[in-house]
Amino acid sequence: MISRIFDNTLPERRATAVAAGLTILAGAGQVAVGSADYVDRIGPSWGPLAGGLATLLTVLAGRSRRSLSVVATVLLLPSCAATVFHVLRATGAIPMPVDVRGALVSGSATVTLLLLWRWCRPLRTTDDRPWETPAWVALLGVAVALVYPAVKTSWVLGSTWLAPRGLEHRVDAEYVAPVLLVGLGTAATLVALRWWRTDAPPFAHPAAAAAGLALVSLGVGGLNATVTHPADEGPTLAVLVYGSWLLWGLTTLAVAGRLSSRRRLPAEARVPAGA
């Protein structure tokens, strides 16, 4: 069974196995030497190790690989959230030094998850067809995406509802960046509705899937931090913001499941009406 992993006819499966092995090594090192405090807030330090092992079991599994891939995804998701924070640090969006060791661990776990999804194709039916996601799911995603910028805008306009104490709220980079990202994300979702019943460009499905995974990971990581390290102001704001990100991510994954560059059958495979 193990030799099948390295069969030249299964490159995606082989790449997933190699990435999982590297994540297991990186995760074991993190468990041995410990992780930064912010990593522990997002998810357990043993998450990459367990996620790598679950991914390797998925590669070795037969018919049960879809259920095992769900377990691996849940274990690896917090590392994806950590990767987002590392990218923000590296680009200067978060004024903190880059944690190189933590970035390597979370980056390895993120690559493993992306390769696992590329191989297992969880956003397809068992007969490799797109999901029949209704259009209202995409519109729900647009609605929940507006929650965070709406709350931040209310603070800028002078509202004190759920506003963190001791912070000055104004139109600056910290305000513009999330509003701009939400604007781009909601616009992309509305554009995706053009391809609801027809072929989408080849990049549409993987781009939507990656965005959905990123949003879900941020939502899960944020909610985990809320539970393990409750804020003095209470959990309402965190649950509202991170919960909206989680729901936005799930709807984005549902949109990705609908998009396909092969939604319509080739002309030669169509059966004429009345045949």
User: What is the pLDDT averaged over residues 124-150?
Assistant: 88
Assess whether pLDDT exceeds 60 at residue 268.
Answer: no
Assess whether pLDDT exceeds 70 at residue 52.
Answer: yes
> Taking all residues of the chain, what is their mean pLDDT, rounded to a whole number?
83
pTM of the model: 0.82
Which tens digit of pLDDT belongs to each residue from 149-198?
A: 898 888 888 887 877 776 667 777 777 778 888 999 999 999 999 888 88
Full 3-state SS string of the chain? CHHHHCCCCCHHHHHHHHHHHHHHHHHHHHHHHCCCHHHHHHCCCCHHHHHHHHHHHHHHCCCCHHHHHHHHHHHHHHHHHHHHHHHHHHCCCCCCCCCHHHHHHHHHHHHHHHHHHHHHCCCCCCCCCCCCCCHHHHHHHHHHHCHHHHHHHHHHCCCCCCCCCCCCCCCCHHHHHHHHHHHHHHHHHHHHHHHCCCCCCCCHHHHHHHHHHHHHHHHHHHHHHHHHCCCCCCCHHHHHHHHHHHHHHHHHHHHHHHCCCCCCCCHHHCCCCCC
